[in-house]
Amino acid sequence: MGWWRQSDRTRLAGYRFSVRSPAAIHPLMTHPPASSAAQPRPQAAPLLSVITPTYNEAENIVGLLERVELALAGITYEIIVVDDDSPDETWQLAEAYAEDHQRVRVLRRFHDKGLSPAVLAGMELAEGRTLGVIDADGQHDEAILAAMAQRVAGGDADICVGSRASDGGSYGDWSRSRRLVSWVATLIARLFLRVPLSDPMSGYFVISREAFEDAAPDVNPQGFKILLEFLGRRPHLRVAEMGYTFRSRTAGETKLNSSVIRSYLLAVFDLRFGHIVKPQLLLYTLVGLFGVGVNFAVIVIGEAVGLGSISTGSEAIDPLPVPVLVGLIAQLLVTFAANNWFTFWENRYQGSRLAVGFGLFFIISAYGLMIQFAIAKWLDIINLVEGPLSQGVAAALQQLVAILVAFQASYFLNVNLTWRRRERDEEQRVAG
């Protein structure tokens, strides 16, 4: 059962609705309107419902609402502002605007915050034949909204996407580094999801009600990009693009950071492989492979510059090549840092606690190596993979099995000990 088919009270608990007419109360609403001062809404469904998710956009929200209403003057519409309880008075300003503009509604959310849940909550309340999404920061060109809605309503497409990369579109004054990030993200989407878009990272689009209702039961409400969710869950949807120039943000702060990149990769992995393996495990695997690559590079460089060997006093490993030792240390440092600030972002260690986190990670890594050696030795003793295989192939398979088991064990321990302990410690600190 999809998220949108849950009971009304469960799904909408913790929301506050600013609706100005009793006749306009949506059948899914669990809270009555605070006021009934405004004129009743038209009974006919509007052509377009525009959902605007907001968080700390006090400097932008009123200007955006004014521009959207001006751009949609030729069609029937409604605007739903979905605010995640912004501390900067965004929702208060939106509510004040809605007092004098009957086509504007405000949904204030206290729980289950996030961009995708906000958009989905707004779509669930929307009454329009088409459902549009536009950011509140003013960077999307609202002038094409009506044309996008008419294209979908006319049956030309199930989704019309405002694109910065298609004909007539532009990224504006983006830096080369940001353009590179966008290009890589687009490439990943095309490779893994086969999304037929020039700008799959766009958060600006219009979708038909029929397409939304068909896809909604399967959509992940915590998905990173809701457009990717719709296209990834329903690849058969007909897609059109309309170019526009991306504006520079004039107020507020951008939400783009390293956690956004992580969230994007998790979303792509979930859409492509979520039915097989956890997306977080895939990130952990990628980080591990990157660490192996760093180890190998250090060894190659160390051998090239002529680093020698050292004696450890143990006949089992003497002489120990210095490049191997340095490479192993580099691998541990790199994989810990990448996992801490990427794979396990929510529970990352900071400041003086980094030493604690690395200590746990080091112990678990050493334990993983012990598991690997033990399993490889056990497989060699019982001759499980020998038989028709040559000795070299059998030895390679034994090592592969051992590595896979040890890797899974280390992942389990790191998830449930290293970064889980960070979460518990923080909870205890706050509670105490």
- DSSP-derived letter for residue 417 is I
- Has residue 172 got a pLDDT over 90? no
Identity of residue 314:
S
What is the rounded distance in angstroms from the CA atom of residue 378 to the CA atom of residue 47? 68
The residue ranking higher by pLDDT, 376 or 231, is 231
Q: How many CA atoms are closer than 13 Å to the CA of 6, on its beta-carbon side?
A: 12
Question: Could you read off the pLDDT of 261-295 as tens digits, one per residue?
Answer: 777 777 777 777 777 778 788 888 889 899 889 98
Mind giving me the DSSP string for 198-247? S-TT---EEEEHHHHHHHGGG--TT-S-HHHHHHHH-TTS-EEEEE-BPP
Q: Residue 418 corresponds to which tokens in the numbers above?
A: 């290293």
Contact 133, 204 (CB under 8 A): yes
Which 3 state secondary structure label does DSSP give 141? coil
What is the DSSP track for 58-102?
TTTHHHHHHHHHHHTTTS-EEEEEEE---TTSHHHHHHHHHHT-T
Residue 95 has a pLDDT of 94
- For the four alpha carbons of 317, 323, 329 and 331, in that order, the dihedral sign comes to negative
Instruction: Kindly report, residue by residue over 231-243, the tens digit of the pLDDT.
Output: 888 888 999 999 9
Mean pLDDT computed over 202-217: 92
Pair of tokens at residue 235: 């690849």
Please list the residues that pair with 317 across neighbouring strands.
none
- For residue 394 the two structure tokens come to 């059998």
Confidence of residue 316 (pLDDT cuts 50, 70, 90): low
Domains of the chain: 3-273 (3.90.550.10), 277-343 (no CATH), 348-432 (no CATH)
- The tokens 């779509």 sit on which residue? 123
Mind listing the pLDDT tens digit for each residue in 386-405?
Answer: 555 566 676 677 777 878 88
Percent of the chain with pLDDT over 70: 77
- Secondary structure class of 175 (helix, strand, coil): coil
The residue whose two tokens read 């979908």 is 152
Taking the C-alpha atoms of residue 48 and residue 191, their distance in angstroms, rounded to an integer, is 32
pLDDT on residue 334:
93
Whether the pTM exceeds 0.75: the reply is: no
SS3 label, residue 48? strand
Q: Does 50 score more than 80 pLDDT?
A: yes
Mean of the pLDDT values across residues 353-365?
92
* Beta bridge partner(s), residue 104: 79
Look up tokens 């739903």; give the residue: 80
Contacts of 186 (CB under 8 A, 6+ apart): 165, 197, 198, 199, 200, 201
Say if residue 311's pLDDT is above 80: no
Whether the CB-CB separation of 124 and 74 falls below 8 Å is answered with no
User: Do 397 and 332 contact (CB within 8 A), yes or no?
Assistant: no
Q: Are 210 and 247 in contact (CB under 8 A)?
A: no
Reduced to 3 states, what is the DSSP secondary structure of residue 81?
strand
Helices 145-153 & 61-71 angle (0-180, nearest 10):
50
CB-CB contact of 331 with 365 (8 Å)? no
Helix (H, G, I), strand (E, B) or coil at 50: strand
